[in-house]
Amino acid sequence: MATRWETARSVWIEDDGGSFILQDSAGPGATASPADWQALPRSRHADIAALLGASLPRRCAHSSIYPEGFAFCPVCGESLTTPARDTGAPGWRGVEAMTTSAQNAGAPEWWGVDASLPRHVPQGLPVTALPLAAAIEARAPDAPARPDITLPAAPNAVCVFAAARFGYAAQRLLALAYTRNALQYWDPCARLWHVLAAEEGASALTFTVSDYAWLPAEQSARRGEVAIVPTASGLFRLLIDPLRDSYRTEPVLQAPLVSAPGAARRRIACLFKGSAGVALWTAQADGADPEVLACPAIPDSDWSRPLFYDDRLIWLHAEGHLLWQSGGAPTWVPWPAGWRPKRDFGGPVQSRDGRLWLIGHDGQAYSFVELGTASAQVEPIAGARLGFATLLFRRGHPVINEPWDTETIEDPAENESLVLPLLQQFNGLRHQPAGLVLRVERYTGRVESALESMVLPQVTVEWIGQRNVRLDELVRLARPADCLPFIYDGCLWLHHPDWSQIRGWRLKDAA
């Protein structure tokens, strides 16, 4: 006669032969019936055991998996393998590829408000508080410039990444290909990507009208809950069930979206197309207390991912930027006449007094324009500058003081290189910024050509900080701004849609 076993998070059935079948797993409709379990490939059992904290046999053949907490087979007494304890490695609430075309890979994005960053650091830029420098700069000075480890690229390569537990016992990696409606799950035990199937009634996950951003679920959310995601038909909560290789969605706002969502403290907000034109929808993070606010006459596509700074959400556009503070009305600020932003140069930068600035061109020269005010200050500059926040470069030289100040020339040979920042680690030291960059060697051409149309013969992946570390050397790289860094499983990873492998470097000391 079958025996029913109940644990804190799941229910199992043991048959007369001692084999266990998962009957139910606590989560959003994550019941796995015996028929589902029997159809599951045995190769999936190791991943499921890690997700549930279940046990696996060493030599015992009575069952291919045992409930969590089991140390011995109840039939023969043979010892079992228990999953390695999750070290609590920080999840990645990620950064997206640094381009601005919705048909390409989107603009830099940040999952909502990162509580680990101080309030004076803009949210929405590729800035992290994780202590990456402590691990990367401790690498041996003579370490070769090549990856420590690689992952196969996801089948749908233009994607955003998220790494977290999602309510399970182990951290897992997701890659959402938002232009292809493909949610991809990395099975580290089988070293395979699974494309999760949509459950009945689930919304398609495609979103291409503007740059992409998603908002993370709270750490205390239901098992399987990933994020609030924008789609062609509205905002939805995304929930995964790795046991079934599936996902489902729950509606938050059903309306044609104009922009990706942003988080402003306890409120979320998004632009959508209403009957009278573009409007702003806002609600509590759980969807309660919704409100619709009329917007001025503004464009209905091609917005950047939102930026949160100084208690305001900011959406950038080629024609201007929209500002909104909780409790107030949206404000549209057009750019100065004849001036156009260079959004693909990185993102807004900070001056020493805390104001935000965006680089652009007026047809004659580059300049920085102050964000957030109709009477914007304009600071002319000589030559293009790449970066965001306080990680900024002109050619191969850092710009340490004000964004429009003269660059700091430490090595005159770097006049013939180009540095493209990808990720900044916040360290509170403006005079010594730290982060991951690409260094284009022996390049003296136009910045726009390097970012958009050229195949670059030699590019170095480099960490800059108190000690500069060469991590990799790339050959024939096109669209360098499509390189996307993320953190997963104690490693810093670098992805490019053209690569068949994702490059990784171990971060043993990062926590």
- Say whether pLDDT at 114 is over 80: no
Residue 24 pLDDT:
79
Q: What is the dihedral of CA 301, 305, 311, 312, to 10 degrees?
A: -20
Answer with the residue of higher pLDDT: 287 or 112. Answer: 287
Chain segment 204-221, per-residue pLDDT in tens: 999 999 999 999 887 667
Beta-bridge partners for 257? 272
102-to-207, 249, 343, 500 alpha-carbon distances in Å: 8, 23, 13, 22
- Say whether pLDDT at 111 is over 80: no
pLDDT category at 112 given cuts 50, 70, 90 is very low
Neighbours of 412 (CB within 10 A): 9
Where do the domains of the chain lie?
3-81, 127-506
Residue 137 pLDDT:
94
CA 400 from chain centre, in angstroms, equals 27
Q: Which residue has the tokens 């393998």?
A: 81
pLDDT cut 70: percent of the chain above it: 90
Residue 391 pLDDT:
97
Neighbours of 294 (CB within 10 A): 12
Query: What CATH number is given for 127-506 in this structure?
Result: 2.130.10.10
Residue 256 backbone dihedrals phi, psi, to 5 degrees: -70, 115
Q: Which residue has the tokens 């949610």?
A: 183
Residue 89 pLDDT:
62
pTM, full prediction: 0.92
Residue 90 pLDDT:
64
Mean pLDDT over 380-397 rounds to 95
Q: Where are the alpha helices (DSSP H) in 229-385?
A: none
Chain segment 46-102, per-residue pLDDT in tens: 999 999 999 999 988 899 899 988 999 999 999 999 877 666 666 776 543 333 333
